[in-house]
Amino acid sequence: MAVTDIWGPRTPYKRAQMWPRRVDTELAAGTTSDDVDCWVPTASVLHSNGDGLEIAVRRGRIVGIRGRADDRINRGRLDVKDRYGWKANASPDRLSTPMVRKDGELVPTDWDTAMSRIAEHAEDLLNSSGPSSIGFYTSGQLFLEEYYALSVIARAGIGTNHLDGNTRLCTATAGEALKESFGSDGQPGTLADVDHADVIALFGHNVAETQSVTWMRILDRLAAPDPPKLLCVDPRTTAVARRASVHLAPLPGTNLALMNGLLRELVVNGWIDDEFIREHTVGFEDLSDLVSQYPPERVSDICGVGADDIRHGARLIGEAQRLLSTVLQGFYQSHQATASAVQVNNIHLLRGMLGRPGCGVLQMNGQPTAQNTRECGADGDLAGFRNWANPAHVRELASVWNVDAATIPHFAPPTHAMQIFRYAEQESLKMLWVSATNPAVSMPELRRVRSILSKESLFLVVQDIFLTETGMLADVVLPAAAWGEKVGTFTNADRTVHLSEKAVDPPGGARADLDIFLDFSRRMDFRDRDGRPLTPWSNAEAVFEAWKRCSAGRLCDYSGMSYAGLREQGSVQWPCTDTAPGGTARLYADGRFWTAADECETYGKDLITGSPVDATRYRANDPKGRALIKSADYETPHEPPSAQYPFALITGRTVYHFHTRTKTARAPELNGAAPEVWVELSAADAATHGIRDGDPVEIRSPRSTVRAAARIADIRPGVLFLPFHYGYWDVESPAAHDRAANELTLTDWDPASKQPIFKTAAAAIALLSRESEGTR
């Protein structure tokens, strides 16, 4: 298959049939299946779909990949990044030895020197400044066992509240929206709902490029009789939009007005399930009052979408028999993120469409292991979806870890990433340990981020598989083993857990992230209440067994799983318990939610201000298992287009690259398909500005300037789209800082989920002289 053949050939199937198999295989040039010594089971780490994969190994080296034919997620198929991305593992510039900064330069050293430098620094800070001077910023790309170990180390070992993941930039809003509506994080639906739905609604989700195997599944249904209808909500005419029955292209940042308008149509037309609303929800009257203020004409004015298009979109949802909705960054990273994502949950609550085949909500994840970051409490919650504001939950966790409840910080919500960086800026945070994320490219307003990471007052540890833009600013760099070089489990966007086996050894002295964290814990000599080691584990399986105990009784219950079982069954969806040993496809089939005051993961927040609901107030209105219908009024974005910056700037992805390209730019096929940064604009705007396709242009925001090649695309006039993948590790003059989209984005976040707003900023565009092309 050519690299540009992204979705491959069709294997049509009708509703409620089994999705046919199609096994995709990619082997290194000159290698045939006969040369492969063994196929090692794993799953994808280049998106959240959780496609089951097998790594081809020959003489201790990775020589290819194929989809697992029997995996229920992909039935053998490969995403294009997975087809080639494995090549990065053997890249000659993999980090293979620790480095420490000496006289301003990073120099190679041995593990003992690097780790003792970190441990001594942490000891000193604990003695001089206390636990709040130390923070951890981790990922959505490590394994469950690694997050769990880190969570125990940070919360019970160090005792700091400053532990968050890059999942904050990614799916904090997914987690928050689920908590606000259903009382707990946890995906209601399953990817198998694609097989049953008659309408699939995609809200700010370019699934064709970002979870391309799920798009193949949708395409295969579209190619058969009785295809589902699609509703696409995206300001760009993506491949999804092109196949949609209704495409709504709202102005960036106006999702909430659109959602309120759609909900109003459902109410006005009686497309609601009164009995479900009465029996299983609270808050309908408030929502109904509020959305009555959003008739199609008003919404049309706000969103720049035709009033009749809004009616058509609502009818599609309202008359669906089996509605599947998916939500991603077009909502989560946009203005009023949580409030908008919650309205998608509300559609399903109003229509009573949850827990049945085809009736699902997928508040999507983005990163392969983001779900694990959240459930292990390496994000803004306590392990096992426990409520930091509920003393009984804190005591329960303390007893699992055998520590005093007072050791686990719970005086305030766990600190969110943007606030951790703020503390570093203010110098109260003096040590930051960054694992498997590259904030010097992926965080908003990069000039500020660079200045924080470069501060003299900050001791920066960076644990990665390559020397990234962030690593270059570190005091200590730790070389990690990558996927395929270590063992562990991880959980995709529909709660499916896969075990990823070790296929080959890591390069040089690189070590599994888990081993690095556990080494640190041993050096710090963290102990439990009885003086026993806090993290007594020596391998991933032992950590998994400990996590099973921690998760037992909570929604993300793993207690019925084991490595042996995962090897046998291939994959399992949590909750998986004694009573549900095969796992659980759909949550909430019984219409009972996790909202009871004693159970819930949060007492919730005001969706507009983010201010938390206090325990007393929540208990006074205990929803006792009914879902919460929460509504909110639309407000204008914080940085709307202006005379000086007339465009709405949005940022996002292309199918060929993963994030900051540390892996995909090292796979020649993928890099060749998208070697340089571009900016998309409409033909009308291009004409006004005298810009032709391919011209070098400059995009300016109140923060900075980026240079890119113009691409005339099918995008709403007035909107610019810039992929955020391109940083500086592979350019000749990195100091120019004129390539990364996040030079332009603003420091601002959703008040409820604290997720940064990467998709609503103002910008201007101008043609650069055509001769300056290629001068980078």
Residues that bind Mo ion (CB under 5 A): 170, 366-367
- Please say which residue, 157 or 366, places its beta carbon nearer to Mo ion: 366
Binding status of residue 514 toward ligand MGD by CB under 6 A:
no
Which among ligand MGD, Mo ion, none contacts residue 759 (Cβ within 5 to 8 A by kind)? ligand MGD
The CB-of-171 to ligand MGD minimum distance in angstroms stands at 6
Under the binding rule (CB under 6 A), the answer on residue 741 touching ligand MGD is yes
Check if the beta carbon of residue 115 is closer than 8 Å to that of residue 694. no
Nearer to ligand MGD, 80 or 397 (CB): 80
User: Minimum distance from CB of 758 to ligand MGD (Å)?
Assistant: 4
Nearer to ligand MGD, 187 or 281 (CB): 187
Binding mask 399-438 for ligand MGD (x = CB under 6 A): ------------------------------------xxxx
Could you say which residues in the range 613-672 bind ligand MGD, by CB under 6 A? Answer: 650-653, 655, 657-660, 662
**Contacting residue, 252, 313, 380, 384, with ligand MGD by CB under 6 A:** 252
Judged by beta carbon, residue 182 or residue 332, the one nearer Mo ion is 332
187 binds ligand MGD (CB under 6 A): no
Conformation bin of residue 279: beta by default, left when phi > 0, alpha when psi is -120 to 50: alpha
Can you give the C-alpha Rg of the chain in angstroms?
25
Cα 680-684-686 angle, rounded to 5 deg: 50
Indicate the residue among 254 and 367 with the shorter CB distance to Mo ion: 367
Q: Give the containing element (helix H, strand E) for 233.
A: strand 229-233
The answer for residues whose C-beta is within 8 angstroms of residue 121's C-beta and 6 or more apart is 431, 459
437 contact choice in ligand MGD, Mo ion, none (CB below 5 to 8 Å, kind-dependent): ligand MGD
Rule CB under 6 A: which of 158-177 touch ligand MGD?
166, 169-170
Residue of the chain from 250, 296, 355, 358 that contacts ligand MGD (CB under 6 A): 250
- Burial (CB < 10 A; 0-12, 13-18, 19+), residue 155, is buried
- Rounded CA gap, 178 and 175, in Å? 5
Pairing mode of beta strands 105-108, 52-58:
unpaired
Please tell me the distance from the alpha carbon of residue 58 to that of residue 667, in angstroms, as a whole number. 19
Stretch of 70-78, 460-468, 611-619, 706-714 contacting ligand MGD, by CB under 6 A? 460-468
Instruction: Kindly tell me which of 98 and 366 has the beta carbon lying closer to Mo ion.
Output: 366
Interface pick for ligand MGD out of 238, 343, 390, 571 (rule CB under 6 A) = 238
Which residue's CB is nearer to ligand MGD, number 31 or number 91? 91
Q: What is d(CA 533, CA 526) in angstroms, rounded to the nearest whole number?
A: 6
Of all residues in the shown chain, the one whose CB is closest to ligand MGD is 366
Choose from ligand MGD, Mo ion, none: what does 86 bind? Cβ within 5-8 Å by kind.
none
Binder of residue 398, out of ligand MGD, Mo ion, none (CB less than 5 to 8 A by kind): none
Dist CA 224 CA 673 (whole Å): 31
589 or 684, CB closer to ligand MGD?
684
Nearest distance from residue 209's CB to ligand MGD, in Å?
5
Q: CA 144 → CA 540, 541, 565, distances in Å?
A: 9, 11, 17
> Which letter, b or e, does each residue of 378-416 get, where b requires 16 or more Cβ atoms within 10 Å of its Cβ?
bbbbbbbbbbbbbeebbebbbebbebebebbbbeebbbb
- Which two three-digit tokens encode residue 466? 């390559």
In 502-639, where does DSSP find H-type helix? Answer: 513-524, 540-551, 563-569, 615-620
Is 141 a residue that touches ligand MGD (CB under 6 A)? yes
Q: What angle do CA 223, 227, 229 make, to 5 degrees?
A: 120
